[in-house]
Amino acid sequence: MPSPSLVTTKTPLRIGFAGGGTDLPAFYEREEGAVLNSTIDKYLYVTVKRHNRLFLENYRLNYSETEHVDSLEDIKNSIARESLRFVGIEPPLYIGTIADLPGSSGLGSSSSFTVGLLNALHTFKGDSVSAAQLAEEACHIEINVLKKPIGKQDQYAAAFGGLNHFFFCPSGEVVLSPKHLPEKKIERLFDSLMLFWTGISRSADPILLEQQVSTESKMDELREMKRQSHEIWSLMEKDCPLKEIGGVLQEGWENKRRLTSKISNPQFDSWYDAAIQAGAHGGKLLGAGGGGFLLFVVPEEKRDAVISVLRELTLIRVKYESRGSQVVHLQRE
């Protein structure tokens, strides 16, 4: 069978409900961490193509920037460079990305890119890879090779997809507990979720680095956030009461704000308070904080009021995505 000449992957972004921060080694190396998150119907697409030698370059990369280089070492995009080195594919190669939503926004886009790129590169090379392998390789590249001060939840969410409770063991092992809800419950839950784009993109690294350093003094807050991941799942599993779920999200947000000084600011607090006063049951700033998307649980009769008080922000509707990274197009020579 001829080798692939072009591969495109589609990898979901994710929202975190509770437990974020306990997937960092500073926490889970002391005691088990736990995170409840779900992938959504917003994606990052990666295309890997055999580059035509008429372009006189070994590598062309198109993402938020464009790179034309001959040497692997000259690639500025560190994830692309190290993923190419790890999988080991000879040039010439073209790599392009398209995202449904902005990066650096608290939806795990960097790890979705890593997982999606690895999936595309392995498929291009003819390798068969599992979701677990993609997640572990993405963690290896981002955490071990690039030394990013991040956790492991985003890579696993992107690779496996769906609603999952992840457990992070002191040994470094990640245990996956997939959660399944009836379709009507999932629809009711996601119909109540409102994401508002703050217009602020930021790197999570400085916030996570400060959080890593202060983990020992914040263990009680992190333990409570871990407990809330179990509480929210318990509520979802029963009759999915939106008011109670929103209340736990709000408690988690209050705990999260105490982790570092960089997570929130007066503007975010003002938006958050306005949404609560307009009828939102609760919510949080997604990801590490400092920018990105605000998530709220809002009953149907209060949605217009919340939209009105947050009219300077952009509302993004999301639905549930049950699948992780997948190959959506493969072309052979």
Identify the CA nearest to 58 among candidates 42, 74, 40: 74
Torsion of CA 237, 238, 240, 244, to 10 degrees: -110
Catalytic residue among 70, 100, 127, 154: 154
Domains of the chain: 4-180+326-332 (3.30.230.10), 183-316 (3.30.70.890)
pLDDT in tens, 179-216: 999 999 999 999 999 999 988 776 666 656 666 666 77
Q: Is 51 exposed, middle or buried (0-12, 13-18, 19+ CB in 10 A)?
A: middle
Helix (H, G, I), strand (E, B) or coil at 264: coil
Who contacts 269 (Cβ-Cβ below 8 Å, separation ≥6)? none
* 154 is a catalytic site residue: yes
Q: What is the pLDDT of residue 205?
A: 63
Q: What is the pTM of this model?
A: 0.94
156 membership: H or E segment, kind and range: helix 153-160
Give the span between the Cα atoms of 110 and 162, in whole angstroms.
Answer: 18
Q: Would the pLDDT of 262 be above 80?
A: no
Q: Which two tokens stand for residue 23?
A: 């997937």
Torsion of CA 22, 27, 28, 34, to 10 degrees: -20
Q: What is the pLDDT of residue 174?
A: 97
Q: What is the pLDDT of residue 256?
A: 81
Q: Would the pLDDT of 288 be above 60?
A: no
pLDDT in tens, 36-45: 999 999 999 9
Yes or no: say if 50 and 93 are a contact pair by the CB < 8 Å rule.
Answer: yes
Q: Which two tokens stand for residue 272?
A: 């958050």
Give the span between the Cα atoms of 5 and 254, in whole angstroms.
Answer: 50
pLDDT in tens, 58-107: 999 999 999 999 999 999 999 999 999 999 999 999 999 999 998 888 89
Q: Would the pLDDT of 1 be above 80?
A: no
Provide the pLDDT confidence category of residue 19 given band limits of 50, 70 and 90.
very high
